[in-house]
Structure 1
Amino acid sequence: MKRTLLKPAAVAGALLLALAACGTDSGDSSSDSGSGGFTAPDVPMKKSLGETEGEVSILAWPGYAENGSSDPKVDWVTPFEKKTGCKASVKTFNTSDEAVTLMKTGEYDVVSASGDASLRLIASGDVQPVNTDLLTNYADISSFLKDRDWNSVDGQMYGMPHGWGANLLMYRTDTVKPAPTSWSAVFDEASTYDGKVTAYDSPIYIADAALYLMNTQPDLGIKNPYALDQDQLAAAVDVLKKQKESVSEYWSDYLKEIQAFTTGDSVIGTTWQVIVQVAQGEKVPVQAILPDEGSTGWSDTWMVKADSDHSNCAYAWLDHMASPETQAAVAEWFGEAPANLKACDLTSDPKHCDNYHAGDSSYADKIWYWTTPVEQCIDGRKDVKCTNYGDWTQAWTEVKG
């Protein structure tokens, strides 16, 4: 997965450089225990905090660890260093695959892992279980982001939840009429907008097709869009191959998507809330919805290297990133809902949390957050083997041709 980072128009009307829900369609995501679908390696968990080690190496999506170099007013790394005495070195990455590869070098103490990377890091033993009792701000994190399939195994958390967001359906209001209410507009009815449909460019987008099939073809038996056996994956691939006939382009660069909607080369397709706001700020006639079937989405997690030599500084970083002040700053700069709702009182835009549905648990319950596909079916099935991320990567190559 590759994400595109933006700075919302609501903050400064400008953009940054590039960059990232398991719920249920019945709205009861809390029933998901976050088993992870496998037995995690025996990696020790930190029992207590000690003196900080003076340094910490951070691997992050662009925009998640700002030190003022992008904008002097945007800096939460320097306050962290002054408060903890931990000198922070930051390296950014552009894809989840890149993050996984870099973590395997052993050079980084913490990483902001998206749901299509986190389980891979847990299963390989590259990250450690996190003792949430040692994190002051963990109690203030929204409950629907805790103990989930992408950040925990057998009830054990493996990190500090960060921001989150939904993958929405955006359309040009002057072209797409009547207004869509379902993902059918870009799947079964995609030919209505032949050559003007856009879709997200990543293997994880297969889950969008799987979610649609889960709602429209119940006989397939899909219970979780990230837990697909071979037949279910094949069905999702068929949907995407048919959709491809009407696709104008697959996007991973937000600028290209905005440009395509501006020119009318694309009139309908998947997007993020922050992209909607930027496009509307540039007077592009677009709206976006969370369709009737619900949606996929993303929630990132700060994770700690399994054998980190700077684990006290690493824990200090996790706590700092979960504080209301930092959450408010990151949420506005990056364009997402904060995980800590106390941040909502501190955003410069008083409507930020409303725009991103930060405190709306019923909205969040409609989202199936990106989760790494693994062979052990995370939907509870024991009699079949599910497809893994490698299978999805190969399938996505077949879809795009």
Structure 2
Amino acid sequence: MRNRWMTAVLAAGVLTLAACGGGGDSGGSASGPGGLEVPKIDKLAALGAGEGEVNIVSWAGYVEDGSTDKAVDWVTGFEKETGCQVNNKIAGTSDEMVALMKTGEYDVVSASGDASLRLIYGGDVAPVNTDLIANYKDVFDGLKNKQWNSVDGAAYGVPHGRGANLLMYRTDSVTPAPTSWNAVFDANSPYKGKITAYDSPIYIADAALYLMKTKPELNIKNPYALDDTQFQAAVDLLKAQNELIGEYWSDYTKEVQAFKAGNSVLGTTWQVITNLTKADGAPVEAILPTEGATGWSDTWMVSASTKHPNCAYLWMNHIISPQANAGVAEWFGEAPSNKLSCALTADKSHCATFHADDEAYFDQIWYWTTPLAQCVDGRTDVTCKDYAAWTQAWTTIKG
């Protein structure tokens, strides 16, 4: 597990919607939240022979060819079977992924929820013909046609995996055991200076989710759709929390070390971080608090200007196949998207640990979604704060 590559770090970025009219023909458009139009781009009608190569942008650990660990390779077999040579570019942030896809030099990207809508509305990715992807039928229904990977029922990619942002605590220091996110927001917390939080503007959604459950008068319906009043309430809560924070984390290895050393005893985490911290002997547990949590689900998306559409589709079908998806899920530390993968993981308890087939569990998760000025909760009578505003606010929150 120490060899896992987990660099899914969300960086601040400006969501520019002015360019949404480009990238497609003038034959019409689909409507998104608030009536925002999506460029009209045709999806692939039929699958043909591979073009010999596919250029991919991915998170580290998603496209392993045996060079990191000889036993971890779901690329070589794909290349031999399809004749599509895989050229992979690892991106460290969602902003980098968006920028790379805008060059038109890449065919496929493993986009997180804070990037996927930018790519869709920017005309950088095409809708996907899921009828041409045989393994799509075995993807968990809870991941299909969601707000971050579809518009008006049109799929803009295939789901890769998912996970929740949990609350981790040291059992020898934090008593009684927490059940609510109040544990990290309580201004009178006895753990001041030893609380940690995820270092990204998207963390504002965690505060919004807590307020959605505890301050009903704010009328928050979606933690990624915040008007001026709702947004200011979340920012104020996080500014107050800043006084409690010992350190923010984005590198998961640093969070493991902080909890091992006792420098952090309470804060947001991922299940895989809890597993690693436990494996290193630290007395920690992680819970899904009563309010639910934010989370993430990445999506394989195909470029609107791909030069290798057939290899791109062959790759998307392969990476969500039962065997490959099982391999990625274990290596990276997440729930697989293909329900048949659970029978193929080396650790037979992997899917139980990551709640892969527990839809009741994931019904409590609000997956990362790009905040837009056109409120993603469907409101049209107000303007919501977009990701640029979230980015600016995050700077002031951290001081």
TM-score of the two chains, using structure 2 as the length reference: 0.93
**Letter in structure 1 aligned against 2:4:** L
Counterpart in 2 of 1:23? Answer: none
Identity percentage of aligned residues: 63
| Residue 19, structure 1, aligned to residue 7, structure 2 | yes
* CA distance in 1: counterparts of 2:188 and 2:114, whole angstroms: 27
1:323 counterpart letter in structure 2: S
Counterpart for residue 337 of structure 1:
335
1:190–1:140 CA distance, 2 compared to 1 (3 A): farther
User: Separation in 2 of the partners of 1:283 and 1:294?
Assistant: 27
Structure 2 equivalent of residue 109 of structure 1 = 107
Following superposition, the deviation at residue 35 of structure 1 comes to: 5.4
Q: Which residue of 1 aligns with 2:86?
A: 88
1:168-214 deviation digits (Å, cap 9, x = unpaired)? 00000001000000000001256321100000000000000000000
Q: Indicate conservation of the 8 Å contact 2:187/2:240, yes or no.
A: no
Counterpart pick for 1:39 among 37, 40, 46: 37
Q: Secondary structure at the match of 2:348?
A: coil
Structure with greater proportional strand content: 2
SS in 1 for 2:296: strand
Aligned length in residues: 376
TM (norm. structure 1) is 0.92
Instruction: Decide whether aligned partners of structure 1 residues 273 and 124 sit closer, same or farther in structure 2, where only a CA change above 3 A counts.
Output: same
SS of the residue corresponding to residue 192 of structure 1 reads coil
Distance 1:56 1:190 in 2: 54
CA–CA distance in structure 2, aligned partners of residues 208 and 195 of structure 1: 19
Conserved? CA contact 1:35–1:155, under 8 Å: no
Paired letter, 2:245: V
Q: Which of residues 361, 382, 385 in structure 1 aligns to 2:383?
A: 385
**Per-residue CA shift, 1:73-104, capped at 9, x if unaligned?**
10111111111110110010111111111111
Provide the rounded CA distance (Å) in 1 between the counterparts of 2:97 and 2:142.
25
Q: Distance in 2 between matches of 1:15 and 1:206?
A: 30
Contact 1:176 1:267 (8 Å CA) reproduced: yes
**Counterpart residue number, 1:154:** 152
Give the letter for the 1:107 counterpart: E
Q: SS in structure 2 opposite 1:205?
A: helix
Read off the aligned partner of 1:378 and give its amino acid letter.
V
Deviation, structure 1 residue 39: 2.3
Match of 2:369 in 1: 371
TM alignment of 1:343-354, pairs within 5 A: 343-354=341-352
Give the distance between the partners of 2:141 and 2:32, measured in 1 at CA.
16
What is the alpha-carbon root mean square deviation over aligned residues? 1.2
Per-residue CA deviations over 1:119-169 (Å, capped at 9, x if unaligned) read 000010000001111110111000010111100111111000001000000
| Separation (CA, whole Å) in 2 of partners of 1:339 and 1:17 | 19
2:183 to 181, 185, 194: 185
Q: Which runs of 5+ in 1 are unaligned?
A: 1-7, 9-13, 21-33
SS class of match (2:163): strand
Q: Is the 8 A contact 2:39 2:123 kept in 1?
A: yes
Query: What corresponds to 1:50 in structure 2?
Result: 48
The residue type paired with residue 316 of structure 2 is: L
Q: Which amino acid aligns with 2:148?
A: W
**For residue 283 of structure 2, what is the aligned residue in structure 1?**
285
**In the alignment, what sits opposite 1:70?**
68
1:194 pairs, out of 162, 186, 192, with 192
Q: Aligned AA for 1:19?
A: T
Relative to structure 1, is the Cα distance of residues 176 and 204 closer, same or farther in structure 2, using a 3 angstrom cutoff?
A: same
Determine helix, strand or coil for the equivalent of 1:137: helix
User: Do the aligned residues in 2 keep the contact of 1:36 with 1:152 (CA within 8 Å)?
Assistant: no
| CA displacement at 1:310 relative to structure 2 | 0.3
Which of residues 349, 354, 357 is equivalent to 1:356? 354
2:250 matches 1:252: yes
User: Within 2, Cα distance between the matches of 1:61 and 1:161?
Assistant: 14
**Aligned residue number for residue 315 of structure 1:** 313
Distance in 2 (CA, whole Å) between partners of 1:164 and 1:157 is 17
* Structure 2: segments with no counterpart, 5+ residues: 9-30
Q: Structure 1 residue 17: deviation in Å? A: 4.2
* Partner AA of 1:245 in structure 2: E
Q: Secondary structure at the match of 1:302?
A: strand
Report the counterpart of residue 143 of structure 2 in structure 1: 145
